[in-house]
Structure 1
């Protein structure tokens, strides 16, 4: 038997409330959640997406601030810590032709396209150690000689020519 502290009525021992005055005799057991956070699924998703976005932004800032400038990337640091400055245009393409032509020249990831008539020179934006490729196509049906030279720091390092009407010349060079 459980005596009610408020009215003194004798209740049976399994009673949660006093039969006489409805006073709470025992606290009802509180259910505990099993595992997990104490927030809804939507809040969890928003929190995770927010963390991913912040991590991505931090990574972007660190990555962009750690990349060398174009001028710095053309320099070579030797084993004894000497900096050898690279030329900003170490390669030049020389096209010798009396007709109309179209070209693609540069590194495989960045090709410059140009169309012209007659002789021309094209400076390439690449480092001296980059692989360079050049393709020049005749835009006319002339059998005149098309000569293409790849010049590195003033020296011809690759040369090719064609007399075929509508012919194409391809050069590839890696130092």
Structure 2
């Protein structure tokens, strides 16, 4: 009797194929085929195994990235301040506004001292500064046309003037540093 390695059926010793599942038991010369492989073994090359493992790692990283990005607070949420008593003080996203009031040509650098925005223009203008409520704010502005009119710079926080300066000097320069 010959036991089929696939289904375990006991076949007669002269059987070429398993009577139960038609599995090949002998080769073309009548020799018994040695079918002693373990069931459910990985019968793939090492390169395929590496590709599968790398694919799993890449999918895991993509899923982690997706979950991480979707669970981060929005920019507006990160600008909230938690006070000593544990309450949350919601603030405007960008509470600071710079106002340059001059009828001539001017140049200014303003914002967080580490990341100053550079602006130039003619006539009065307002700029919303990309600063959080707790940031230091700096404004360095000067006349470009050496005019004799009043050159005035204001810093507003949530609509209220928190710092201002003016000059009538022809080479007028104003520097404002504000710490909340």
Q: TM-score range by the shorter chain?
A: 0.5 to 0.7
Other-structure match for 1:129: 134
Q: Pick from 91, 96, 99 the counterpart of residue 91 of structure 1.
A: 96
Q: How does 1:43-58 map to 2 (within 5 A)?
A: none
Other-structure match for 1:9: none
Runs of 4+ in structure 1 displaced over 6 angstroms?
63-67
Deviation at 1:119, TM superposition (A): 0.6
Other-structure match for 2:164: 158
Secondary structure of the corresponding residue to residue 108 of structure 2 = strand
In structure 1, stretches of 5+ residues that fail to align are 1-59
Secondary structure of the corresponding residue to residue 140 of structure 1 = coil
Other-structure match for 2:125: 120
Name the CA shift for 1:158/1:68 in 2 (closer, same or farther; >3 Å): farther
In structure 2, stretches of 5+ residues that fail to align are 1-64
Other-structure match for 2:105: 100
Counterparts of 2:124 and 2:176, CA distance in 1: 17
Secondary structure of the corresponding residue to residue 86 of structure 1 = coil
Instruction: Give the TM-score taking structure 2 as reference length.
Output: 0.56
Q: Is the 8 A contact 1:160 1:170 kept in 2?
A: no
Deviation at 1:145, TM superposition (A): 1.6
Secondary structure of the corresponding residue to residue 172 of structure 1 = strand
Instruction: Give the TM-score taking structure 1 as reference length.
Output: 0.58
Counterparts of 1:155 and 1:141, CA distance in 2: 26
Deviation at 1:130, TM superposition (A): 1.1
